[in-house]
Amino acid sequence: MTILQAIILAIIEGITEFLPISSTGHMIIGSSIMGIASQNFTKLFTIAIQFGAILSVVVLYWKRFVNLKDFGFYIKLLIAFIPAVVFGLVFKKYIDILLENVIVVAIMLVLGGIIFLMIDKWFTKNENDDAAGVSNKSAFIIGLFQVISMIPGVSRAAATIIGGLSQNLTRKAAAEFSFFLAVPTMFAATAKSLLDYYQDGYTITSNEIQLLAVGNIVAFVVAMIAIKAFISFLTKNGFKVFGYYRILVGGIILVLHFMGIELGML
């Protein structure tokens, strides 16, 4: 992986991590086009740079995260986080296999896009505008939705936002709870990936450390911008544009595949 490739993937991560369009799917697509998707370090890199993205959430919502008086907030995040831990540990090998499958990403992008074309009509009467005010039961249900996002192309943000909407959260509140839940989820995923990388006998070189550092910095800056823009856009416009985008991208990948053109050939 070159420094330019690292920057490109980090920009993709920063833009897409908190949008309901699948950051993992887009990084698989991007790394496939660049011909580095199957490299072990690329797989580590695409997960490890999520750390930079989650720092942007902590910075933007630092008052919420340092409010030690509201211990219940941390309990709710823990409850929502648990399902992903359990399923992630049990099905990790299968998830890793799917991470190399661009067709799975394409199909999930299209299916998710179809859902987003209809979702604004499904949740028109949601009233709870307090992202941190969900019940423990609702937090757990949102956590179950997050499990679905382990399939590449589904989108963690999409799954958890839909989960939040199903629990009477407004668009803004559902998106914010999705951001909050991303912090423990993505931190754990990064730590687990680094541990697995070492346990599999790989070591990170000084050059790879530099790539990870650059990737996290770029992802942090881009994610800061993306979060602010997303909240404003979502509140005013809803989900349809993301639905059309997902269907377009997924459809193009499927068409190219059936034409015998793989992304790595582009």
Average pLDDT of every residue of the chain: 86
Q: How far apart are CA 17 and CA 12, in angstroms?
A: 8
Residue 155: pLDDT band by 50, 70, 90 thresholds?
Answer: confident
Question: With the CA atoms of 86, 92, 94 and 100 taken in that order, what torsion angle do they form, in degrees rounded to the nearest 10?
Answer: 130
CA angle 123, 127, 131 (to 5 degrees): 100
**Is it the case that residue 165 has pLDDT exceeding 70?**
yes
- Residue 152 pLDDT > 50, yes or no? yes
Q: Looking at the predicted structure, is the pLDDT value of residue 196 above 50?
A: yes
Question: Six-digit token pair at 161?
Answer: 């936002």
3-state secondary structure the chain: CCHHHHHHHHHHHHHHCCCCCCHHHHHHHHHHHCCCCCCHHHHHHHHHCHHHHHHHHHHHCHHHHCCCCCHHHHHHHHHHHHHHHHHHHHHHHHHHHHCCCHHHHHHHHHHHHHHHHHHHHHCCCCCECCHHHCCHHHHHHHHHHHHHCCCCCCCHHHHHHHHHHHCCECHHHHHHHHHHHHHHHHHHHHHHHHHHHHHCCCCCCHHHHHHHHHHHHHHHHHHHHHHHHHHHHHHHHCCHHHHHHHHHHHHHHHHHHHCCCCHHHC
Whole-number percent of the chain with pLDDT over 70: 95
Question: In this predicted structure, what is the pLDDT of residue 80?
Answer: 94
Q: What pLDDT is attached to residue 265?
A: 45
159 phi-psi bin (left φ>0, alpha ψ -120 to 50, beta other): alpha
CA pair distance 45, 209, nearest whole angstrom:
10
pLDDT one-digit tens code per residue, 79-105? 999 998 888 777 766 666 666 677 888
Contact 176, 231 (CB under 8 A): yes
Look at residue 100 in the predicted model and tell me its pLDDT. Answer: 63
CA–CA gap between residue 241 and residue 233 (Å, rounded): 10
Task: State the Cα–Cα distance between residues 151 and 92, nearest whole angstrom.
Answer: 11
Q: Rounded CA gap, 79 and 227, in Å?
A: 24
The tokens of 260 are what? 């015998």
d(CA 230, CA 22): 14
* Banded pLDDT at 172 (limits 50, 70, 90): confident
Instruction: Output the pLDDT for position 138.
Output: 93
Q: In this predicted model, what pLDDT tens digit does every residue of 6-48 receive, in sequence order?
A: 999 999 999 988 888 878 778 888 888 888 887 889 988 988 8
* C-beta separation of 53 from 17 below 8 A: yes
**Range 226-251 average pLDDT:** 88
